Structure 1
Amino acid sequence: MNDSKEINFHLHLVSDSTAETVSSVARASIAQFDGVEIEEHTWPLVRTKAQVDKVLKGIRETGGFVMYTMADKHLRKHLKKNCEEMGIPCISAIARMITVLSEWMDKKTTFHKPGRQHELDEDYFNRVEAINFALTHDDGQSVWDLEEADVVLVGASRTSKSPTSMYLAYRGFRAANVPYVTGVPLPDIVHKLKNPLVVGLTISPDVLVQIRKNRLLSINEQKSTDYTDIERVKEELVQVRRVFTKNRWPVIDVTRRSVEETTANIIQMFEKRKYQREKGSK
């Protein structure tokens, strides 16, 4: 094997869930090799044949290596069959991954470096920086440099903006969130953002009222206010939806979604937007 050569390739991570497992396993495996640079493509929430076909289109355009975690055997078979036809390695995240990667890249692992997947590399520091960014740009803070964000979340109070921002940061994305308050215009800069992906978060009025009531109870506040009045909340959500529509921002309904699922959706949007921009610049 030629251990001195530099390796650069596209890595496609396909999952029927949030892609956390396949992403973690892939990074831990790649960390076992010196001189390897990858361009990661994450495909979360792939649960239908049509979605697999969309993934296959992306794989066909870039080539590379495919790793997956999918429970549906028919979808797995469809993915693997098409990858085989393209001559592209496609393995489960629980397969003998390091061995397969080693054979495919013609490169030995560096097993003499224990705990290597946890070393303080550039990815680690980028993640720390993303977390600091999310903390300093939470709940409408530091709006003057929102253009530096990867993702900006907008929504009414208690629509999971902050936890979603932090989860995005954990995944390495510089996320900020800005609250919508009835009668208070959003900062002008939010409407003019060019670089970040701006995403609107919404929720069912009934669920939002219950969440807000629980929040007030947690701080021993039991007075009835407009904050938890169902009719006021309905109007608030209608108003913020108009703002989303006016600015043509994509919208995610978080009513029945976990923070992890919402984050996976946003990352999917981000990657699609990034690909379209790169394709349009060529």
Structure 2
Amino acid sequence: MRRIVYVVSDSVGETAEFVVRAAASQFDGGRVDVHRISFVDDVSTLREVVESAREDGALIAFTLILPELRREIARLAEEGGVIAVDIMGPMMDAFGKAFGTPPKLRPGLVHQLDEEYFRRVEAVEFAVKYDDGRDPRGLVRADVILIGVSRTSKTPLSMYLAHRRLKVANVPLVPEVDPPEELFTLPAKKIIGLTINPEELNKIRTERLRSLGLTAQANYATLERILVELDYAEGIMKKIGCPIIDVSSKAVEETASIVLDILKRGGTQA
């Protein structure tokens, strides 16, 4: 015989249904019909649900955030002889007592958190896919595009901003390689140039070569080559007309804060 459970929620009701099915799995293989009633925000709906549950001999499981709705469904269920289980209420009460702060009492917050989490994951995947100019087709979909010579923190900055739910692509500027045409057709306000002090970049590149077991005298790390690259990159940035950030001696977090501030002002620097 299949049993019926009415799941009542002021949001989607997924949490309550998950708990119901987990509990039901412990009884005869979990054969239970779940009737989900979502986005409940009025007493009349509660009355209808309790009456239906009484007629069906069903159980009610509810996740209602507002105390008045929780009290009302409990009262109606008791009067109708229906078993009703408050899934969320006791846990919220315990949190309030343990931490000394009241709940926000706003339905659907868990789903807002889920949405933020998935947006962050999507942004991180985007940053990985369009790192280091791998696919220029992604530039048009980016929230912000970082450009600059090698070792100006484009990748770590991209990942940091991705965790702020921004879709970031980055493109290295190298004199021997023409930059993607998209850089000159997309709005300059979504492109940010990164530059750095030549001497500091020389030290960074030299250490990078040493960590790879290569000679520090390679052209990549010479001051002459760095000056050529920085001059080329500056020319590209000026042609685009994008904001430029000097990342010299700046932590990634500091640069990210400047980027976010620029984006907030519509792509203009202070």
Above 0.5 in TM-score? Answer: yes
Distance 1:147 1:112 in 2: 36
Which one of the candidate residues 252, 257, 269 is aligned to 2:262? 269
Distance 1:274 1:220 in 2: 40
Corresponding residue number in structure 1 for 2:136: 143
Distance 1:200 1:112 in 2: 42
User: Greater Rg, structure 1 or structure 2?
Assistant: 2
TM-score by length of structure 1 reads: 0.55
Distance 1:141 1:168 in 2: 18
2:191 maps to 1:191: no
- When residues 136 and 109 of structure 1 are mapped into structure 2, their CA distance, relative to the original with a 3 A threshold, is same
- When residues 172 and 196 of structure 1 are mapped into structure 2, their CA distance, relative to the original with a 3 A threshold, is farther
Corresponding residue number in structure 1 for 2:48: none
1:238 CA displacement: 1.3
CA contact (8 A) 1:200 1:251 kept: yes
Distance 1:118 1:254 in 2: 37
1:201-260 superposed Cα distances (whole Å, 9 cap, x missing partner): 000001101101111111111152221111221121111111111111100000021100
TM-score by length of structure 2 reads: 0.58
2:101 maps to 1:109: no
Which one of the candidate residues 214, 217, 222 is aligned to 2:215? 222
Indicate the percent of aligned positions where both proteins have the same amino acid: 39
Code of the aligned partner of 1:197: K
5+ residue gaps, structure 2, are 1-9, 11-64, 67-99
CA contact (8 A) 1:205 1:234 kept: yes
- When residues 192 and 111 of structure 1 are mapped into structure 2, their CA distance, relative to the original with a 3 A threshold, is closer
The SS at the match of 1:273 is coil
2:155 maps to 1:162: yes
1:183 CA displacement: 2.3
- When residues 195 and 231 of structure 1 are mapped into structure 2, their CA distance, relative to the original with a 3 A threshold, is closer
The range that moved more, 162-171 or 139-148, is: 139-148
Which one of the candidate residues 172, 175, 198 is aligned to 1:205? 198
Where do 1:223-262 residues align within 5 Å?
A: 224-262=217-255
The SS at the match of 1:152 is strand
5+ residue gaps, structure 1, are 5-33, 36-97, 103-107, 276-282
Question: What is the alpha-carbon root mean square deviation over aligned residues?
Answer: 3.1
1:196 CA displacement: 6.5
Distance 2:150 2:188 in 1: 25
The SS at the match of 2:265 is helix
